[in-house]
Amino acid sequence: MRPKSMSPSFAFAAVLAAAALAATGVWAQQPAPEKKPARQRVGVVDVGLLFKEFKRKDAFEKQINAQRTRLKDELDKEQEKLKKLRREFEKSGYRKGSEPWLREREKLKLAQFSWELKGERMQNALKHEVEQNTLQILSEIEYTIANYGKRYGYTYILKIDKAEKSPTGASSDLVQHFQERIFRAQISDVLYFDKTIDITQPVLKYLNHAQNIRHLEQRAKKN
């Protein structure tokens, strides 16, 4: 007895199933399509300019200047005492080389040494305060730049140096320019950039915004 032949519809369905299975195997062997890299957004900022125009820096400088004035007044008072002691020694009338003369001269030398040592300690304390404030300012600037980058979707924000040569002037101006140049050279990483990616001004505006200033002040108190 001959087997029954398949109906045309069943045969067609079988062909479709086989084709689908074959196609599935082919696609399974194909590598997954590569993801296109996300578009990167890059900006550059002149940290030297931000440092110069940062409003918080003015408050630190005011604090340092007040401390410097206080220390100077204290040293001036000590110097006046030293001058008075020297005048008394000169008018003492003791014979040079005598025991009273040697005793008073030693007292004068000790007072002189004490005054110089106190001045040196004050200068070192003031220098340390300036260094700590400078580090604090730079830390707050970098922290704000990072927040700006996250908020506005930047992939990279790089440091640049746009310092222009100062005109010839007094020696103090040249020294100041040299010191500023050294500072800026330490923070400059980019040799060339297109001006269209310079975001210094918007970052400066963001940095000095009242809300950001308050945030930095609160953050400094916590730290």
3-state secondary structure 159-207: EECCCCCCCCCCHHHHHHHHHHHHHHHHHCCCCCCCHHHECHHHHHHHH
pTM: 0.65
29 falls within a domain: no
117 falls within a domain: yes
144 falls within a domain: yes
35 falls within a domain: no
Q: What is the number of structural domains in the chain?
A: 1
Q: Which of 63-72, 145-154, 163-172 has the lowest mean pLDDT?
A: 163-172
Q: What is the pLDDT of residues 38-75, one digit of tens each?
A: 688 999 999 888 988 999 988 888 888 898 899 999 99
* Tokens found for residue 70: 């206080």
Q: How many CB atoms lie within 10 A of CB 19?
A: 10
184 falls within a domain: yes
Structural domain boundaries enclosing 150: 42-222
1 falls within a domain: no
Q: Which helix (H) or strand (E) holds 45?
A: strand 42-46
Burial of 101 (0-12, 13-18, 19+ CB in 10 A): middle
Q: What is the pLDDT of residues 65-109, one digit of tens each?
A: 898 899 999 999 999 999 999 999 888 888 888 998 999 999 999
202 falls within a domain: yes
37 falls within a domain: no
Q: How many CB atoms lie within 10 A of CB 104?
A: 17
